[in-house]
């Protein structure tokens, strides 16, 4: 332990603690901006670039950044001297002098860490009138908008992308006042190895990195009388949307969400969970097929589009291992524009499928050429994130919290507990195992439902599950850095598994790049995941193949799982992309 004094209060801290941590333990608040410590997901941004958290340490010539200065024995620290406070204010003033102060019309209005900091310090004047840096907005990608003018160079995106996700799209480019954080050679985002996981957006303190805004297109479709607009909602959306309306974290708002979507004017409100069950039918079949026919193992889940793009860029030699299953919302689109259209007598060309997703990569995925059919066009027409949905609900003047709970529309609205847990790490593979266990262990009257060995928060987890006397070894990774480790070992032949689940975002879809901002608190993600498991438990049907609407779909339309029509509509392929 290290003894020290902060603002005349004596305390002791474990060795290796920072001044900021020591102050926090005493209830002393030091304003910060660049600093971000999400050590559970190894996202620790301790670069000390913003110089907001400066404090005075006796015997030291200069002020020191509390976020990144370790305590030393006998240290005497003052956090709120005139000198420190003045410096802090001046730093924020400098940042604001170079910031487009268009808060009123900014995506992050009322949800911006720079704005809050300025309010906290009570900045009322910016003495420095010089021009600010002008750069072009990068709107090249379908997922992420990069506006370097609003960047405060906190480097969180860089740490997230390089250290946590190991994708390495961002770095500092140019020098001095012209320095921006962006792709090398000023490449447009679309031309980079970006997976569009959107984790950079999740940690960006300002409006420098935001999701693309597809709300206008969706409103246009809704107001077009010729279009039949179908909403589908991903599992992780329902356990996070409530946060945007002040509900406690971890509240599941499925019913209110459905009601809100109807009131917004969607013609049909259906559930991606239905398609998740469908995915399991296909994926479990493919898994069993590959195992029983000495096929390529392991089989990798393919629900996560960011992860799919990652493997295309980074591990082209492994492109034969992911399952060929489309992701659930794409399956949904394919079925909606065929089976559903036929069943309800709708013209497929008039159907507009809008996916509401916790994810920004889904926006890119929806534009993939291989995910559209000749007759039906794109499987999915628009993707909006949870954050965009919350804004649209507000824009429509809907009082979300006072809405009644409503049910999804029929035909593609029913889902099982298995599909609900798709939204968290370990969920997809558990869902697949539930069905595989039931199918393989036909004599067992009550095959196992919960496979708790597959749950958890560790970045890479391994488990062995026994199904019908067969031992399946399974690995799970969330966060692309963990995925890289796992894939490297697989490629190098160091490890062998039957099946692997990978989700690009730390914690899985509950922590997706399109979710309400977690406020730099990882506990939020855990509570969201907890809500998903509760919803699963509360369901009567908890295995995908038990979903009656799914059974009907195969009976009436698809035929056999993993059969010919299923292949045509529900499976896809991957292609190699450049490393950079």
Partner 1 sequence: MSSGTGQVRIALRNCGVIDPESIKDYIATDGYDALAKALFDMSPDEVVETVKKSGLRGRGGAGFPTGIKWETARRSESDIKYVLCNADEGDPGAFMDRSVLEGDPHCVLEAMAICGYAIGASQGIIYVRAEYPLAVKRLQIAIEQATDMGLLGDNILGSGFSFNVRLYFGAGAFVCGEETSLMNSVQGGRGEPRLKPPFPAVKGLWDKPTNINNVETYANVAQIIRNGWEWFRQFGTEKSPGTKVFALAGKVNNVGLVEVPMGTPLRVIIEDIGGGIRNNKKFKAAQTGGPSGGCIPAEHLDTPIEYESLISLGSMMGSGGMIVLDEDDCMVGISKFYLTFTAEESCGKCTPCRIGNVRLLEILDRITEGKGEEKDMDDLENLGNTIKDTALCGLGQSSPNPIISTLRYFSDEYKEHIYHKRCPAGSCSKLIGYKILPDKCTGCTVCARNCPVSCISGERKKVHVIDQERCIKCGVCFSKCRFKAIVRG
Q: Which of residues 178 and 578 has its CB atom nearest to partner 1 in the complex?
A: 178
Crossing angle for the helix pair 305-314 and 480-491, to the nearest 10 degrees: 50
Under the criterion CB under 8 A, does residue 153 sit at the interface with partner 1? yes
Question: Minimum CB separation from partner 1 for residue 506, in Å?
Answer: 25
CB atoms within 10 A of CB 171: 13
Crossing angle for the helix pair 272-292 and 427-440, to the nearest 10 degrees: 60
53 is catalytic: no
Question: Minimum CB separation from partner 1 for residue 83, in Å?
Answer: 7
Of the candidates 243, 282, 330, 365, the residue annotated as catalytic is 365
Number of residues that bind partner 1 (CB under 8 A): 37
Q: Which of residues 61 and 575 has its CB atom nearest to partner 1 in the complex?
A: 61
Instruction: Quote the CA–CA distance of 168 and 423 in Å, as a whole number.
Output: 26
Helix ranges, 315-426 (H): 328-335, 341-344, 361-366, 386-395, 417-420
Residues 359/225/368/186 CA torsion (nearest 10 deg): -70
Angle, CA 571 vertex, CA 309 and CA 558 arms, to 5°: 155
DSSP characters for 179-232? -EEESGGG--GGGSS-----HHHHH-SSTTEEE---HHHHHHHHH-TT-EEEEE
Instruction: Quote the CA–CA distance of 158 and 200 in Å, as a whole number.
Output: 8
Phi-psi region of 170 (alpha: psi -120 to 50; beta: other; left: phi over 0): beta
Q: Which of residues 154 and 318 has its CB atom nearest to partner 1 in the complex?
A: 154
Q: Which of residues 140 and 179 has its CB atom nearest to partner 1 in the complex?
A: 179
Phi-psi region of 459 (alpha: psi -120 to 50; beta: other; left: phi over 0): alpha
Q: Which stretch binds partner 1 (CB under 8 A): 49-57, 486-494, 555-563, 564-572?
A: 49-57
Question: Minimum CB separation from partner 1 for residue 202, in Å?
Answer: 23
Q: Which of residues 61 and 494 has its CB atom nearest to partner 1 in the complex?
A: 61
What length is written for the chain?
580
Of the candidates 66, 202, 252, 323, the residue annotated as catalytic is 323
Helix ranges, 150-304 (H): 156-158, 199-203, 215-223, 235-238, 254-264, 272-292
Q: Which of residues 186 and 537 has its CB atom nearest to partner 1 in the complex?
A: 186
Phi, psi of 382 (to 5 degrees): -135, 150
Q: Which of residues 95 and 463 has its CB atom nearest to partner 1 in the complex?
A: 95
- Is the bond into 298 cis (omega within 30 degrees of 0)? yes
Of the candidates 286, 414, 430, 546, the residue annotated as catalytic is 286
323 is catalytic: yes
Structure tokens of 531? 């809500």
Handedness of CA 5, 10, 15, 20 (dihedral sign): negative
Of the candidates 151, 197, 204, 303, the residue annotated as catalytic is 303
Question: Minimum CB separation from partner 1 for residue 51, in Å?
Answer: 5
One character per residue 63-82, x = contact with partner 1 (rule: CB under 8 A):
x-x--xxx------------
Question: Minimum CB separation from partner 1 for residue 196, in Å?
Answer: 24
Which is nearest to 117 in space by CA: 166, 80, 76, 152? Answer: 152
Q: Which of residues 470 and 580 has its CB atom nearest to partner 1 in the complex?
A: 580
One character per residue 110-149, x = contact with partner 1 (rule: CB under 8 A):
-----------------xxxx-------------------
Phi-psi region of 69 (alpha: psi -120 to 50; beta: other; left: phi over 0): beta
194 is catalytic: no
Under the criterion CB under 8 A, does residue 91 sit at the interface with partner 1? yes
365 is catalytic: yes
Of the candidates 178, 370, 466, 568, the residue annotated as catalytic is 370
Instruction: Quote the CA–CA distance of 361 and 1 in Å, as a whole number.
Output: 45
Of the candidates 150, 256, 326, 362, the residue annotated as catalytic is 362
Of the candidates 158, 283, 312, 388, the residue annotated as catalytic is 283
Q: Which stretch binds partner 1 (CB under 8 A): 91-99, 373-381, 496-504, 525-533?
A: 91-99
One character per residue 305-344, x = contact with partner 1 (rule: CB under 8 A):
----------------------------------------
Phi, psi of 138 (to 5 degrees): -100, 105
Q: Which of residues 12 and 171 has its CB atom nearest to partner 1 in the complex?
A: 171
282 is catalytic: no
CA distances from 507 to 371, 417, 502 (A): 26, 19, 10
Q: Of 22, 23, 36, 95, which one interacts with partner 1 (CB under 8 A)?
A: 95
Residues 159-218 that bind partner 1 (CB under 8 A): 171-172, 174-179
- CA atoms within 13 Å, Cβ hemisphere of 44: 7
Residues that bind partner 1 (CB under 8 A): 46-52, 54, 62-63, 65, 68-70, 83, 86-87, 90-91, 94-95, 97-98, 127-130, 152-153, 171-172, 174-179
**Residues annotated as catalytic (active site), given as ranges:** 283, 286, 303, 323, 362, 365, 370, 509
């Amino acid at each position: 332990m290290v003894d020290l004094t902060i603002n005349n209060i004596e305390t002791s801290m474990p060795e290796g603690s920072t001044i900021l941590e020591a102050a926090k333990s005493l209830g002393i608040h030091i304003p910060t901006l660049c600093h971000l410590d999400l050590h559970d997901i190894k996202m620790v941004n301790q670069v000390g670039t913003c110089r907001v958290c400066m404090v005075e340490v006796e015997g030291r010539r200069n002020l020191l950044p509390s976020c990144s200065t370790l305590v030393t024995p006998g240290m005497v620290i003052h956090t709120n001297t005139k000198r420190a406070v003045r410096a802090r204010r001046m730093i924020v003033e400098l940042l604001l002098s170079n910031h487009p102060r268009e808060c009123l019309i900014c995506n992050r209005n009322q949800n911006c860490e720079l704005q809050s900091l300025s309010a906290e310090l009570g900045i009322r004047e910016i003495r420095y009138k010089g021009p600010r840096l002008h750069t072009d907005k990068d709107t090249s990608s379908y997922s992420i908008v990069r506006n370097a003018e609003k960047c405060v160079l906190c480097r969180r995106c860089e740490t997230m992308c390089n250290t946590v996700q190991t994708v390495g799209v961002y770095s500092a480019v140019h020098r001095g006042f012209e320095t921006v954080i962006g792709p090398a050679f000023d490449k447009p985002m679309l031309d980079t190895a970006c997976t569009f996981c959107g984790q950079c957006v999740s940690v960006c303190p300002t409006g420098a990195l935001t999701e693309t805004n597809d709300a206008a297109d969706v409103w246009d479709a809704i107001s077009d009388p010729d279009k039949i607009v179908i909403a589908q909602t991903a599992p992780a959306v329902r356990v996070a949307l409530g946060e945007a309306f002040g509900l406690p974290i971890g509240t599941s708002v499925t019913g209110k969400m459905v009601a809100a979507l109807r009131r917004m004017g969607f013609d049909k409100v259906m559930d991606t969970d239905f398609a998740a069950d469908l995915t399991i039918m296909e994926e479990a079949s493919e898994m069993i097929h590959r195992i029983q026919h000495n096929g390529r193992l392991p089989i990798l889940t393919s629900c996560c589009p960011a992860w799919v793009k990652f493997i295309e860029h980074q591990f082209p030699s492994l492109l034969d291992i992911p399952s060929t299953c489309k992701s659930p919302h794409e399956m949904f689109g394919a079925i909606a524009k065929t089976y559903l259209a036929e069943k309800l007598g709708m013209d497929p060309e008039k159907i507009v499928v809008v996916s509401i997703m916790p994810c920004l990569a889904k926006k890119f995925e929806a534009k993939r050429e291989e995910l559209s059919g000749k007759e039906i066009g794109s499987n999915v027409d628009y993707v909006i994130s949870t954050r965009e949905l919350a804004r649209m609900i507000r824009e429509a003047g809907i009082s979300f919290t006072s809405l009644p709970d409503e049910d999804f529309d029929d035909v593609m609205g029913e889902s099982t507990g298995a599909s609900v847990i798709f939204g968290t790490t370990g969920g997809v593979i558990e869902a697949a195992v539930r069905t595989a266990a039931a199918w393989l262990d036909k004599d067992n009257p009550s095959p196992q439902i919960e496979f708790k060995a597959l749950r958890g928060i560790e970045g890479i987890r391994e488990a062995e599950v026994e199904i019908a006397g067969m031992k399946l070894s399974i690995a799970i990774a969330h966060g692309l850095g963990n995925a890289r480790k796992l894939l490297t070992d697989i490629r190098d032949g160091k490890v062998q598994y039957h099946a692997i689940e990978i989700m690009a975002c730390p914690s899985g879809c509950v922590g997706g790049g399109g979710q309400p901002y977690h406020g730099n608190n990882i506990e939020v993600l855990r509570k969201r995941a907890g809500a998903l498991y509760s919803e699963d438990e509360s369901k009567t049907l908890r295995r995908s193949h038990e979903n009656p609407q799914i059974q009907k779909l195969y009976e009436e339309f698809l035929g056999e799982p993993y059969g010919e029509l299923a292949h045509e509509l529900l499976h896809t392929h991957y292609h190699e992309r450049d490393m950079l």
